[in-house]
Amino acid sequence: MDENSKFLPHSYEGLKKLQKEFEGYQSKAFPTREPRFFALELAGEVGELANLEKKEWKGRKIKDSDYVDETADAMIAIMNYANSKGVDLSTAVSEKMRKIDEKRIENPEV
C-alpha cells in the first residue's frame, strides 16, 4: 500500500443505506420493470450526459444545471439497475476500488 491508498474510502455504509432506500421506492413505483429496462435507461441517460460533453467540446455553452440533471438521472438509473440485478453496490464498489488502487500502484501513470 502506498501513501495515496490511505485516501480510499474507509466505509461504503452510506452507499448501502442509499441503495436500500432506492430499492424500497423502486419496488413500489416500478414493481414490474425488469433489469433490461433499467440497463437501457442507464445507457440512455449516460448517453445524454456524454452528449452534453460533446456539445461543450464543440464550443456550445451548456448550463451547469443540465449537467446536474443528467448526472442525477444516470445515478438513479444505476441504482435501479443494480437493485433489479441484486447487485450490492457497496460491496462491489469497495472491491473494485481496491483492485483499481492495486493496479495504480503496480503501474503508476507518468
Q: Which domains does the chain have, with CATH numbers?
A: 35-110 (1.10.287.1080)
Q: What is the pLDDT of residue 1?
A: 66
DSSP H helices in 1-110:
13-29, 35-57, 64-85, 89-106
Q: What is the pLDDT of residue 3?
A: 82
Q: What is the pLDDT of residue 110?
A: 59
What are the grid coordinates assigned to 4, written together? 495515496
Q: Do 35 and 77 form a contact (C-beta atoms < 8 A)? A: no
What are the grid coordinates assigned to 97, written together? 476500488
Please tell me the distance from the alpha carbon of residue 52 to that of residue 5, in angstroms, as a whole number.
33
Q: What is the pLDDT of residue 35?
A: 96
Which regions in the chain score pLDDT beneath 50?
none
Q: What is the pTM of this model?
A: 0.86
What are the grid coordinates assigned to 1, written together? 500500500
